[in-house]
Chains A and B, each alone.
Chain A
Amino acid sequence: MAQLIFITGGVRSGKSRFAEKRAASLRPTSGTLHYLACGQPSDIEMQKRIARHQHDRASANVPWETVECATDIGSVASSLNENAVVLLDCVTTLLSNELFQKENWQDELFQQQTKQKIQHDIEKLNERSEALIIVSNELGYEPLSGLVDVYARQLGELHQWIVSKADEAYVVENGIPQRMKGEGV
C-alpha cells in the first residue's frame, strides 16, 4: 500500500511549501510528481494565489506535473504513472466544490454521499501512487451554524478518516511542521 501523508495548518502557514518539499523527498528517481490542484480561479485574488503556487513549484527544480481538478479527483488515478508521488491541494476546496456544486447541500444523505465519494476517490489515488500527500486547512474554532456547520462536519469527519489512514500527519504553524502521527522525516 502506498504511503499516505496528511498536512494541515492555517492559511499562509507554509503548509503547501512543506508538502511540496515532503513530496519531492519521496519521489523515486524516475518517478513523476503530480500536483492535483482543486482550486478554481474565481477572482483575481484566487488567480494570484494560484499563480504564486505555480511559480513556487516551477522554481523548485523538481519536475512537477500539474493537473487541474476541481471535482472527481478519482478520475485522475488511471492516468498516473506507476511510481508517481501525488500532492492533493487541498481537501477544503475539493469539499466545497463537491458539496456546493448543486443546490442540495442541505440534504443529509447527499452530505454523507459526498464525503464517501471523496473517501473513495482518495483511496483510488492512494492505490495507484507511490505516495499520496493530502493538504488541508484547520477548521474554525468558533460557534458554528447553518451552512458552515454542515461544511465543518463533513470536513472534520473527512480529516478524522484521513488521519486514521495516514502514515504521517502534521500541523504546520508559522512554517514549522509539528508531527502529530508517524515516524516522520
Chain B
Amino acid sequence: MHFVTGGAYNGKTKWVKNFYGLTEDHCWKSAYDQTKIPLNVSRFYGDVVVLEGVEQWLKGLTAESGLEECRAIWQSLLGIWRTWESERHERTVVIIGTDITKGIVPMEKEDRDWRDLTGWAYQDLAAVADRVDVIWYGLNQQLK
C-alpha cells in the first residue's frame, strides 16, 4: 500500500501517474467522480489500483456516523484493500489524500469533525502503508 499526500493542487495525481507509468487503461477510483467508497474489490483490475481524494470519502462518512465509528469503518476499509493487495505479489493499492489538517480551525463543527477524522485516518493509513510520499509542487519527499 502506497500513501501519497500533500496540500491541495500540489500535483499529487500527476506524480502518481508518472511514478507508476500509468497510461489510459488502469483502475482509478476518484472521490471527485464518485461519492461511493469502492468497497467491491472484485471490480479492481490490473496491478496498480489508485484511490484518489479519500478525504472526500472521509467527509461522506462523517455525515452518517460519529467519529469513533467512522474511524472503525476506515480501518476495516484499509483491511479490505490490503487483503486484495496481498492476494498477488504484484499488486499495489495507491491512496491519494489531500492534507487538510494544517489550517485555521474551521468555523463549522462538520468541518472540524471532517478534519479530525482525516488526521486520524491518515495516521492509520501511514501505519499500514509500505511507502508514504508527501508531494510538494510536483516533487516527492519519501517519509516511509
Contacts and interface: CB of A to CB of B under 8 A. Distances in A.
Contacts of A140: 7, 102-104
B9 interface: yes
Given A152-B9, A156-B9, A142 B138 contact: no
A49 interface: no
Contacts of A163: 136-139
B115 A143 contact: yes
B79 interface: no
Contacts of A162: 137
A180 B14 CA distance: 18
B100 A141 contact: yes
B77 interface: no
Interface residues on A, range: 20 to 34
B8 interface: yes
Q: State the majority secondary structure of interface residues on B.
A: loop
Contact of B139 (A141, A156, A181): A181
A153 B98 CA distance: 13
B96 to A, nearest CB: 15
Contacts, number: 64
Contact of A143 (B9, B14, B111, B141): B111
Nearest to A136: B137
Given A156-B10, A160-B10, A180 B101 contact: no
Contact of B137 (A143, A144, A152, A159): A159
Contacts of A77: none
B102 A143 contact: no
Contacts of A141: 7-8, 99-103
Interface of B: 7-11, 14, 99-104, 106, 111, 114-115, 136-139, 141
6 contacts: A141-B7, A141-B100, A155-B9, A156-B7, A164-B138, A180-B136
